[in-house]
């Protein structure tokens, strides 16, 4: 019997959108979006037959204020969030709860894997002056005193196991800050994100 499905598998993808190979984008979406949907479609018939079950999708707080160099990853998580919201409505008649977990900075190896993938991409051309900033972006979530993995796991499990779990649960480093940024005027967000992620290499020949 399957009571809870947690779609936590994910890959990062850093780099400028204009120079990131489509194959790298497809790989990111294949894991972060279609991987979650494959698992969901596999368990829904069983859960529906029991009239109960919980599907937990792990998204990202980055969708609240998308910035430079992580566009592919953020877009994949935004797609997952949209699918999660739709699934919550579509699966409600079958007694299945769908929960959107929205982590901020959590201790993980996501930065190392992102750099490893970035190193395999073609050499940057237009964005070569920004390479240092791009590499730094990969380590953002791990350089801001991220929440310990065990703490995140305990908080998430506690929420998921509630009789009536929330549709959306966000925790982790900078989760509140990013939520606030989401409601800021676009020109302020653009200023803050540019200052944070594009200051190095700003001079382009």
Q: Known catalytic residues?
A: 73, 77
Nearby residues of 84 by Cβ (< 8 Å), 6 or more positions away: 57, 59, 98, 99, 100
Residues 92, 176: Cα–Cα separation, whole Å: 29
Place of tokens 């499905």: 5
SS3 32: helix
**DSSP secondary structure letters along 128-180:** GGGHHHHHHHHTGGGSS-PBPHHHHHHHHHHHHTSSS--SEEEESBTHHHHHH
């Amino acid at each position: 019997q399957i009571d809870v499905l947690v779609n936590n598998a994910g890959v990062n993808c850093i780099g400028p959108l204009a120079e990131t190979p489509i194959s790298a984008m497809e790989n990111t979406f294949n894991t972060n979006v279609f991987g979650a949907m494959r698992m969901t479609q596999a368990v829904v018939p069983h859960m529906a037959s029991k009239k109960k079950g919980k599907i937990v999708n792990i998204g990202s707080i980055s969708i609240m204020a998308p910035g430079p160099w992580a566009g592919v990853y953020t877009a994949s998580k935004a797609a997952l969030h949209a699918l999660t919201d739709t699934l919550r409505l579509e699966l409600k008649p079958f007694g299945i709860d769908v929960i959107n977990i929205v982590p901020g900075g959590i201790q993980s190896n996501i930065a190392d894997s992102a750099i490893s993938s970035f190193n395999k991409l073609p050499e940057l051309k237009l964005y070569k002056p920004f390479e240092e900033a791009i590499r730094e972006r990969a380590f953002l979530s791990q350089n801001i005193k991220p929440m310990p993995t065990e703490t995140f796991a305990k908080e998430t499990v506690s929420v998921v196991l509630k009789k009536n779990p929330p549709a959306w649960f966000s925790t982790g480093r900078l989760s509140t800050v990013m939520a606030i940024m989401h409601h800021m005027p676009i020109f302020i967000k653009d200023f803050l994100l540019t200052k944070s992620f594009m200051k190095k290499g700003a001079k382009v020949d």
